[in-house]
Amino acid sequence: MSTVTVDGVEVEVAPGATVLEAARAAGRWVPTVCFDERQAPFGACRVCLVGIEGSPKPLPACTTPCREGMTIATEDATARRVAGAVVELVLSELPEAPAPHTELAQVAARLGVEETRWPGTVHQTDEDFRHPYLALRHELCISCGRCVRACDEVQGAFALTATGRGFEANITAGLDAGFEDSTCVSCGACADTCPTDAITEIRLLPQSTEEGWK
Amino acid sequence: MTTTCGYCGVGCRLETHVRGGRIASITPALDGPANLGHTCLKGRFAHGFTRSPDRLTTPLIREQGELRPASWGEALARVVAELERVKRDHGADAVAGLASSRATNEDCYAMQRLIRAAVGTNNIDNCSRVCHSPTSFAMRKSFGLSGATGSFSDIDHAEVALLLGVNPTQGHPVVGARIKQAALRGCKLITIDPRRIELADYGAIHLAPRPGTNAAVVLGLCHVVRRDGFVDEGFVAARTEGYDVLAELLESYDPAAVEEITGIPAAELEAAAHLYAEAGSASLLWGLGVTEHKYGSEVVQLLCNLAMMTGKVGKPGSALLPLRGQNNVQGSSDMGALPDTYTAYRSVEDEQVALSFEAEWGVPLSRHKGMKIPEMFDAAIAGELKAMYIFGEDVAQTDPDIAHVAAALEGLEFLVCQEIFLNETTNYADVVLPASAFLEKEGTFTNAERRFQVVEPALDPPGEAKTDFEIITTVSRALGHEMGWETPWDALDEIARLTPEYAGVSHERLGRGGLQWPVRADGSDSPTLYDTTFDRPGGRGHFAPLPYKPPGDAADEEFPLVLVTGRVLQHYNAGTMTRRTANADLVDRDLLEIHPVDAARLWIADGDRVSVRSRVGRTEIEARITERIEPGHVFTSFHFPETRTNLLIGQSADVNTSCPEYKVVAVDVRPIAEQPAFSPALGTTT
């Protein structure tokens, strides 16, 4: 065990614990987007930045291991400014604001990101409703990789892959054949982890009527 | 609301989200100890059946051959009048009841109390008879207690996992995913199954024995362990008894002899034995591919031998984990819904135990064992059994030799079914009582790692349907036996009070994570059994010296292929629930898997409808050509009633527990248009 200080509170953490785990153990909130406790830390989104005493710049909490005596500031001004800008950039690519119940919308609200200062090209609507349970709306994908990792690390079906680069980056099920014709086992772990509803239960979409439910 | 999944025996904890009186969505509970924030397409998506338009919403009474809606008062009066009449005219032993492995512990406990105390007979059984009764029998013989020796978390710590007769990625998807992840992290898998199951692709060694030869496989593994010096002598000396007799028996199971019986190349068997024995920790997992055989219970005892010889039991990563079929296979039997035992497998012939139940219930109880399910059907045909109360089990679809079952049900004077849908069995019912699905009830399920977990209702039962708990307690009251419980939690308190193994179980203590029995009075539970001693007289594990014996059926000239039955990922047993969801859009029929070599020889193309004939019945199924199955074998599922797979299954059953031999049926397969006289010559292939 080692002892670290989070926002002035001392907490004991297990060997190998990350700064994010320490912050959560101390009851402190750290914004995250690409993190899911069921998956190995990925460190891609750079939203979970925190200040660490002695470090010249903020560090991502989800991939930084704790050191004995470390002093962590979850509300470090630079960290929060950068995290807010990252979320704002992510939102700028979406054709519509993510639904209020989604993780991305909640992180944005808590960071005080209301609208983006960088209007520009947004993703075009590209929907796949072929599967009886799973809806795929590519335009809401922010390439956090959580669905791909859920499919690989939680289920082990390897049905989803990341494709494209930059603005074109997205995910694809079964080399674009759709869920049904891939190795997908319909477990729904991807929909469960998606922070934007790019993959969601088809029955939860507004266009899905009561009568259509099965 | 957080509840426990009502599909397989993994016991996933689920969060239910309700909108407008129906389930909007189900998500996995992040803190579920068995599922760790994951679930499969059945638990997550297949809940629509609860509000299917054909749900039973009112009691039904048969009149002039037809079932018509009736009031609860009328239906209950009919049930009580008929049960009392049969009891008066023929005695209490002319009545029998079946509890359900899909129902809660409290439902099953109430059902056995109804049959024992209100009716007055031990003719009570449950559907674990046809799946894991051999596991229960064998583990009690070898180790003492009827349950897994460890927990699913042992999979995460095992260096090696040996899977015999189980296909977890289809039957137990969340544990299947857990095993696959363990394999990807370096756990070496040994898969033993007539079919090349998906996990074989991620494993170190796959062995494909002939169906019905599991005993020879395990004896062969034990032979190599002994021959090559891998016996944990210290463990065997300190913790076990009967090794010498087994050692003598093992002499005759050298790899060459085993290859002769099983078809497994000697070198592969040796490699598997070495891999298992040399590992620092190794777990054994099995399913119905072990139990549903003539000597299924003996193979479980042999698996226990293998674990004891190598000292791989009662340690982290070294567990014996039977994967239970239905959500509450463990609990329905734990609760005493069995003809020979009260709660925690205590014999009905045990005077002290019987007295404790008599004191609690205030009625005299029978000291004679009751009938097992197959015996009930035989007795009904013989005219000795006159009335049955069947709760949550479609015996006319799922039990073997369904022509025989139908004749038995036909022969009854009175049949009451307590169900959520009409099914094959309700065709014979005189009264049908509309009951509730798992999403509508409260109580507990016990998963395959002996964990009591809380079930909380997300919905009310539809229409006039009631919870099973309310129905059973009401029928009991009408029969003159007041159970005196307001809620299932009162029943759970009684179970804890009367059962030392569950002494510390209560609603409050179970909380979100549940408790693994034995639960001591202070509430401490038991993730791992037998770390220091076995639960048998003297504390020693027992080596059973059981030789290989051939299965009850074998291929011959007339029936040259061996049929194995099982289930697929998208559906669940009789399909009553999953067929009424969009899972049926993913898979809408049973398929007969056949190897390309057999298919070519029989002029069968992929997708052809074929005739499948066994010694007792015939049905038609669509063929699927695949190399996952070995030549000489065919496989099908039993999810769709129109397939009538169980017409093909004969009366052969486990010698100790009467669990049917669903896994070895000699069949003749041929294209449907073909006349037998003009079909190609069939050689014996196995």
Q: At what angle do helices B266-278 and B255-262 cross, to 10 degrees?
A: 120
Domain CATH for B7: 2.20.25.90
Tokens of A77: 């001004």
User: Helix B214-227 to helix B243-250 angle, to the nearest 10 degrees?
Assistant: 100
Q: Distance between CA atoms of B417 and A81, rounded to whole angstroms?
A: 65
Instruction: Give residue A104's region: left, alpha or beta (phi > 0; psi -120 to 50).
Output: alpha
Amino acid at B327: N
Give residue B292's domain range: 133-322
- Tell me, yes or no, whether B35 and B179 share the same domain: no
Tell whether A37 is within 8 A of chain B (Cβ). yes
- Regions in chain B scoring below 50 on pLDDT: 678, 685-686
Is there a contact between B469 and B107 (Cβ–Cβ < 8 Å)? Answer: yes
A102 C-beta neighbours (distance < 10 Å), count: 18
User: Residue A210: is its pLDDT beyond 50?
Assistant: no
Report whether the peptide linkage leading into residue B374 is cis, meaning its omega lies within 30 degrees of zero. no
> In chain B, whose CA is at the least distance from the CA of A153?
B181
Q: Do A133 and B45 touch (CB under 8 A)?
A: yes
The answer to whether the CB of B163 falls within 8 A of the CB of B286 is yes
Question: B488 and B397 share a domain?
Answer: yes
Q: H-helix or E-strand containing B175?
A: helix B173-184
Residue B158 included in any domain: yes
Judge if B646 and B614 occupy the same domain.
yes
Q: Do B448 and B412 share a domain, yes or no?
A: yes
Give the residue carrying structure tokens 């399910």.
B373
What kind and span of H or E run contains B163? Answer: strand B160-164
Q: Does A164 touch chain B (CB under 8 A)?
A: no
Question: Do B126 and B147 belong to one domain?
Answer: no
Helix boundaries (H) for B263-340: 266-278, 288-291, 296-309, 329-334
The last residue of a domain, from among B322, B351, B378 = B322
Tell me, yes or no, whether B418 lies in a domain.
Answer: yes
Task: Find residue B25's DSSP bridge partners.
Answer: B17
Number of domains within chain B: 4
Q: Are residues B304 and B364 in the same domain?
A: no
- In chain B, which residues have their Cβ closer than 8 Å to the Cβ of A189? 38
B71-128 pLDDT, tens digit each:
999 999 999 999 999 999 999 999 999 999 999 999 999 999 999 999 999 999 999 9
Is the Cβ–Cβ distance between B424 and B645 less than 8 Å?
no
Mark whether B94 and B121 lie in a shared domain: yes
CATH number, domain with residue B231: 3.40.228.10
Report the 10 Å Cβ neighbour count for B620: 14
Q: What's the pLDDT score for residue B686?
A: 47
A192: contact with B, CB 8 A cutoff: yes
Q: Is B605 helix (H, G, I), strand (E, B) or coil?
A: coil
Tell me how far apart the alpha carbons of residues B458 and A134 are, in angstroms, rounded to a whole number.
Answer: 23
Q: What is the rounded distance in angstroms from the CA atom of residue B278 to the CA atom of residue B282?
A: 9
Contact A19, A26 (CB under 8 A): no
Residue of B nearest to A157 (CA): B177
Does residue B61 lie within any of the structural domains?
no
| 8-state DSSP, B309 | H
Residue B664 φ then ψ, to 5°: -140, 100
Q: What is the pLDDT of residues A153-196, one digit of tens each?
A: 999 999 999 888 888 888 888 777 778 778 899 999 999 999 99
Check residue A214 and give its pLDDT: 38
CA distances A157 to A99, A151, B185, Å, are 28, 6, 15
Eight-state DSSP code of residue A140? G
Q: For residue A96, what are the CA distances in angstroms to A162, A192, B196, B599? A: 22, 21, 47, 54
* Residue B60 is assigned to a structural domain of this protein: no
Using only C-alpha atoms, chain A has a radius of gyration, in whole angstroms, of 19
Are the Cβ atoms of B41 and A189 closer than 8 angstroms?
no
Domain ranges of chain A: 1-122, 127-204
Q: Which CATH number covers residue B670?
A: 2.40.40.20
Same structural domain for residues B173 and B302?
Answer: yes
The confidence band for A208, taking pLDDT boundaries of 50, 70 and 90, is low
Q: Tell me if ipTM is over 0.85.
A: yes
Token output for B197: 């199951």
Pair (B363, B478) in one structural domain = yes
Torsion of CA B524, B530, B534, B540, to 10 degrees: -150
- Judge whether B47 lies within some domain: yes
Task: Among 3.40.50.12280, 3.20.20.70, 3.10.20.740, 3.40.50.720, name the CATH number for the domain at A1-122.
Answer: 3.10.20.740
- B125 & B138 share domain: no
Q: Does domain A127-204 have CATH number 3.30.70.20?
A: yes
List pLDDT tens digits, range B359-403.
999 999 999 999 999 999 999 999 999 999 999 999 998 888 889
Q: Which residue in B20, B22, B26 sits closest to B1, CA to CA?
A: B26
Nearest-neighbour CA in chain A from B588: distance (Å): 13
The number of angstroms, rounded, from the C-alpha of B422 to the middle of its chain's C-alpha atoms is 22
- Concatenating the DSSP letter of every residue in B97-151 gives EEE-TTS-HHHHHHHHHIIIIII----EEEGGGGTTHHHHHHHHHHTSSSS-SS-
pTM for the structure as a whole:
0.94
Chain B contact for A188 (CB, 8 A cutoff): yes
Please indicate, yes or no, whether residues B14 and B111 belong to a single structural domain of this protein: no
Enter the tokens of residue B589. Answer: 């029929």
The residue of A101, A155, A184, A208 whose CB has the most chain B CBs within 10 angstroms, and thus the best one to mutate to test that interface, is A155
In CATH, what number is assigned to the domain containing residue B340? Answer: 3.40.50.740
